[in-house]
Structure 1
Amino acid sequence: MAARFELSDYECGVPTDPAWRVTYAASQTLTDRVTGDLVAANTEYAISSKNGLRGAAGRHFNTRSTRPSCFVSVFLKEKRARAWAKGRGHPNEVWITKIDLSPLRLPPGEAFIFNAIKLGEALDLYSRGLDDELIVLHRIPRRCLVEKRSLSQIYEDDTLEGPVTSKSIQNMIVLVPIDLEETTNPTTRWRNTAMRYFKSPLEFTLHKDPDDRKRLIRVSDVQIAYHNPESRASTYGQDYVYAVFPEERNS
Structure 2
Amino acid sequence: MRAKIAAGNWKMNGTAAALSELDALAALLPATPPTVVLCPPAPLLYRASEAARAHGIAIGAQDCHMDASGPFTGDISATMVADTGASHVIVGHSERRDAHEETNSDVRAKARQAWAAGLTAIICIGESGDDRAANNTLDIIAGQLAGSLPDGATATNTVIAYEPIWAIGTGKVPTLAEIIDVHDFIRTRLCARCGATEGDGIPLLYGGSVKPDNARTIFKAANVDGALVGGASLKASDFAPIITALSQS
Under a length normalisation based on structure 1, what TM-score does the superposition of the two structures give?
Answer: 0.22
* Greater C-alpha radius of gyration: 1
Structure in which a larger fraction of residues adopt helix: 2
Higher relative contact order (CA 8 A, sep 6+): 2
